Amino acid sequence: MNITKASKKHFKSAARLHAASITTGFLSTLPLPFLATLYKSIARCKGSTVLVALDENNNVCGFVAGAVSVGSMYKKVFLRSAIPLIWYILPHLLSITTVRKLIETAWYGFAKKKSKNEQADNTNSGPSLVTSHSSPSSELLSIAVDSSQRGKGTGKKLITELELFFRQNGVSSYKVVTFSKDNISNTFYARCGFTLHKQFLHHGNLMNEYLKKIDVLVAEGDRC
């Protein structure tokens, strides 16, 4: 199994894997061309990446997407791909619920940094229930492994490679958000070294935000 940066030929497979595997999220309700364009755009923006795991036949059997700054990634994706993205979901825009969820999803990326009071609240041990989002701005956006390939360490390897990308981009900690009732994801992230930081409501669902600290890679010239 080989992990590599996603290229043109991988985005449709990544979109299919997303739709088949991440069934609880809002994005998987949108058409495959929308998802494929979204991942293509994320992969092409500086500061974000899509990595794919390829099996022995070079088929995509897993992927992970991450961004150094989610807010800046959303802006770049919108500027780069607004027309195709809107085109693919035109019929969906007749639904008020879909429009509301799209706005909430986009707004998530631009949400303000947490206030000083909120930071103080989060100094207690254990997660706290808050209604706004907070730093770090770096995030694992999505990860999936084909159902036939799970339990073989592919997910963990994708996380390791994403962390290499983050470290090369000066990221010292990043987050990931899960549905609090999604036991498999919650166990997976705990086994990959994340700690539960806080819980909040999104689209009416209770969400877990996990954090993980990583070491920034120091360039040779920067060493003392």
Query: What kind and span of H or E run contains 82?
Result: helix 70-88
Residue 24 vs 115, nearer CB to ligand COA: 24
Residue 46 vs 191, nearer CB to ligand COA: 191
Binding of ligand COA at residue 122 (CB under 6 A)?
A: no
Cis peptide before 91 (omega within 30 of 0): no
Q: Which stretch binds ligand COA (CB under 6 A): 81-89, 92-100, 120-128, 149-157?
A: 149-157
Task: Tell me which of 29, 113, 153, 205 binds ligand COA, using CB under 6 A.
Answer: 153
Please give the span between the terminal C-alpha atoms of the chain, in angstroms, as a whole number: 38
Binding of ligand COA at residue 207 (CB under 6 A)?
A: no
The residue written with tokens 């639904």 in the block is 95
Residue 144 in 3-state DSSP? Answer: strand
Residue 143 vs 162, nearer CB to ligand COA: 143
DSSP string, 4-67: EE--GGGHHHHHHHHHHH-TTSSGGGS-HHHHHHHHHHHHHSTTEEEEEEE-TTS-EEEEEEEE
Binding of ligand COA at residue 21 (CB under 6 A)?
A: yes
Per the rule left: phi > 0, alpha: psi between -120 and 50, beta: everything else, 14 is: alpha
Q: Which stretch binds ligand COA (CB under 6 A): 77-85, 88-96, 154-162, 204-212?
A: 154-162
The two tokens of residue 11 are 């985005």
CA nearest to 105, candidates 197, 155, 34, 180: 34
For the CB of residue 145, give the shortest distance to ligand COA in the complex, in Å: 4
User: Distance between CA atoms of 183 and 187, rounded to whole angstroms?
Assistant: 6
Q: Please check whether residue 34 is in contact with residue 77, taking contact to mean a CB–CB distance below 8 angstroms.
A: no
Q: Which stretch binds ligand COA (CB under 6 A): 2-10, 92-100, 116-124, 151-159?
A: 151-159
Task: Tell me which of 39, 74, 174, 188 binds ligand COA, using CB under 6 A.
Answer: 188
Q: Please check whether residue 140 is in contact with residue 173, taking contact to mean a CB–CB distance below 8 angstroms.
A: no
Q: Which stretch binds ligand COA (CB under 6 A): 34-42, 98-106, 131-139, 179-187?
A: 179-187
Q: Which stretch binds ligand COA (CB under 6 A): 30-38, 40-48, 146-154, 205-213?
A: 146-154
Task: Tell me which of 36, 42, 68, 145 binds ligand COA, using CB under 6 A.
Answer: 145
Residue 9 vs 156, nearer CB to ligand COA: 156
Binding site for ligand COA (CB under 6 A): 21-22, 142-145, 150-156, 178, 184-185, 187-188, 191
